[in-house]
């Protein structure tokens, strides 16, 4: 166990605290059991360590990774009990989806060690309850962490402290951008390629991103869905077919025939890809909770993935729609519009280039044109980059 404490202090020493994402404050850290979900690479580990460093008693806390060699000979419950006996109060378990019996043992820890708080993090695939048999729904409070918004990217890249804007302010063109010598479109072009992930400054960013996508498709989903090797291969093939076809309107029969996959398997495969935050489903207004019930289109989760996995340069129109959906779904319920692209709280949004006309939204009660390659909001024409200030 001493090696775990040594690693814990090394992790803390290497964790910067000069910028802490505002998502940190969405979490009620007083809860006894917290689950932090999110796609690989969005910064879950850093956020946990930052919280410990800035807000916890370091000597009463412990951060471990669930795939540590320690767990080849010990259980999570053993660790928690030993840590509690040493005076531990807060246990942080990262990458918990890599521990097979995680939910059963977390339930035991919660029920039998009531003075110990636990925070665990892992892939959003855990939302499907594939990591164990115990039901934690009445015990844990789960949060899903998104990648960087355009605002957060600007703050990290430039050392700024720009504040988020409400949808109402965005529609009035009120965002906290330092115009003058700084021009938003210059930064926005870079953000589309690499800015969704906090490690965008690293030289090998494209390689690391593609590796993260491949690890999710080749290992995480197959392991926790108990797939055969043949099924895992078909899942990866489906992933790349969809990635080069977005926005994709689901046609189960056509996909099954093209990929030689059982028709009944396709919905499950797409559900896994969406739960892992590789894709975003856009549902029709009023649709139910089932992922493929009235799904209008499937989009890749963000533009950085599009550039990493697409065979050709991603379509500009698709990138616009992708990022609008990605940003706005974090704070609002976004649905497909019957007369245009998107609808939020009864407001219609048509997404297009700078010369886009509003012919499709003439019949809408309240509508806005979301345009690329413009700097300022003029009337009902709003720059798309401004929607990246929503969180």
Q: What is the pLDDT of residues 52-88, one digit of tens each?
A: 999 999 999 999 999 999 999 999 999 999 999 999 9
- Are residues 112 and 182 located together in one domain of the fold? no
* pLDDT score, position 128: 57
- Are residues 102 and 198 located together in one domain of the fold? no
Q: Is 65:92 a contact under the CB 8 Å cutoff?
A: no
Average pLDDT over every residue of 90-106: 92
- Are residues 303 and 212 located together in one domain of the fold? yes
Query: What whole-number distance in Å separates Cα of residue 94 and Cα of residue 49?
Result: 10
- Are residues 191 and 141 located together in one domain of the fold? no
Predicted confidence band at 183 (pLDDT cuts at 50, 70, 90)?
very high
Q: Is 305:357 a contact under the CB 8 Å cutoff?
A: no
Q: Is 4:74 a contact under the CB 8 Å cutoff?
A: no
Write out pLDDT tens, residues 197-221.
999 999 899 999 999 999 999 988 8
Total tally of structural domains belonging to the chain: 2
* pLDDT score, position 131: 47
Q: What is the CA radius of gyration of the chain?
A: 22
Query: What whole-number distance in Å separates Cα of residue 104 and Cα of residue 108?
Result: 6
Residue in 86, 89, 82, 45 with CA at minimum distance from that of residue 66: 45
- Are residues 87 and 111 located together in one domain of the fold? yes
- Are residues 23 and 167 located together in one domain of the fold? no
What is the residue range of 23's domain?
A: 2-145
Query: What whole-number distance in Å separates Cα of residue 201 and Cα of residue 203?
Result: 6
Query: What whole-number distance in Å separates Cα of residue 18 and Cα of residue 350?
Result: 38
* pLDDT score, position 109: 97
- Are residues 129 and 156 located together in one domain of the fold? no
CB-side neighbour CA atoms (13 Å) of 20: 15
Q: Which helix (H) or strand (E) holds 255?
A: helix 252-259
Query: What whole-number distance in Å separates Cα of residue 97 and Cα of residue 103?
Result: 9
Indicate the residue among 89, 112, 145 that finishes a domain.
145
Indicate the residue among 98, 118, 145 that finishes a domain.
145
- Strand residue runs (E) in the chain: 33-38, 61-65, 90-94, 117-122, 141-145, 279-283, 295-300, 334-336, 342-344, 347-352, 367-371, 381-383
Q: Is 342:328 a contact under the CB 8 Å cutoff?
A: yes
* pLDDT score, position 382: 97
* pLDDT score, position 312: 83
Q: Is the peptide bond before 247 cis (omega within 30 degrees of 0)?
A: yes
CA angle 146, 318, 377 (to 5 degrees): 80
Write out pLDDT tens, residues 295-342.
889 999 999 999 998 878 899 999 999 999 999 999 999 999 989 999
The verdict on pTM exceeding 0.85 is yes
- Backbone region of residue 182 per phi and psi (left: phi > 0; alpha: psi in -120 to 50; beta: other values): beta
Lowest mean pLDDT among 189-193, 318-322, 363-367: 363-367
* pLDDT score, position 251: 86
CATH number at residue 129: 3.40.50.300
Predicted confidence band at 290 (pLDDT cuts at 50, 70, 90)?
very low
Most confident option among 6-10, 38-42, 222-226: 6-10
């Amino acid at each position: 166990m001493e090696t775990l404490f040594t690693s814990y202090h090394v992790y803390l020493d290497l964790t910067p605290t000069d910028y802490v994402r505002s998502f940190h404050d969405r979490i009620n850290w007083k809860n006894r059991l917290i689950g932090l979900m999110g796609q690989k690479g969005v910064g879950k580990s850093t956020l946990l360590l930052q919280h410990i460093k800035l807000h916890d008693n370091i000597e009463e806390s412990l951060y471990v990774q669930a795939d540590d060699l320690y767990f080849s000979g010990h259980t999570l419950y053993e660790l928690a009990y030993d840590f509690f006996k040493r005076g531990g109060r807060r246990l942080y378990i990262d990458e918990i989806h890599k521990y097979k019996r995680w939910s059963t043992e977390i339930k035991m820890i919660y029920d039998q060690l009531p003075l110990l708080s636990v925070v665990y993090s892992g892939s959003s695939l855990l939302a499907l309850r594939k990591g164990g048999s115990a039901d934690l729904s009445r015990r844990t409070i789960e949060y899903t962490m998104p990648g960087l918004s355009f605002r957060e990217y600007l703050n990290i890249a430039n050392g700024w402290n720009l504040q988020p804007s409400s949808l109402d302010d965005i529609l009035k063109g009120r965002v906290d951008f330092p115009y003058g010598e700084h021009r938003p479109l210059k930064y926005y072009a870079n953000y589309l390629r690499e800015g969704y992930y906090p490690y965008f400054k690293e030289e090998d960013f494209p390689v690391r991103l593609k590796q993260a996508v491949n690890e999710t498709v080749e290992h995480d989903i197959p392991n926790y869905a108990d797939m055969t090797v043949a099924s895992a291969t078909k899942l990866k093939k489906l992933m790349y077919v969809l990635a080069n076809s977005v926005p994709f309107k689901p046609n189960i029969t056509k996909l099954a025939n093209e990929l030689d996959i059982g028709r009944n398997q396709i919905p499950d495969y797409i559900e896994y890809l969406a739960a892992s935050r590789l894709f975003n489903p856009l549902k029709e207004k009023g649709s139910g909770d089932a992922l493929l019930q009235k799904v209008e289109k499937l989009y890749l989760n963000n533009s950085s993935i599009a550039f990493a996995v697409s065979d050709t340069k991603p379509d500009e129109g698709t990138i616009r729609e992708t990022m609008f959906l990605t940003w706005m779904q974090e704070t609002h319920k976004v649905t497909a519009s019957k007369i245009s692209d998107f609808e939020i709280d009864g407001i219609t949004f048509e997404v297009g280039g700078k010369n886009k006309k509003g012919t499709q939204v003439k019949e809408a009660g309240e509508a806005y044109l979301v345009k690329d390659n413009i700097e300022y909001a003029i009337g009902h024409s709003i720059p798309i980059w401004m929607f990246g200030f929503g969180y």
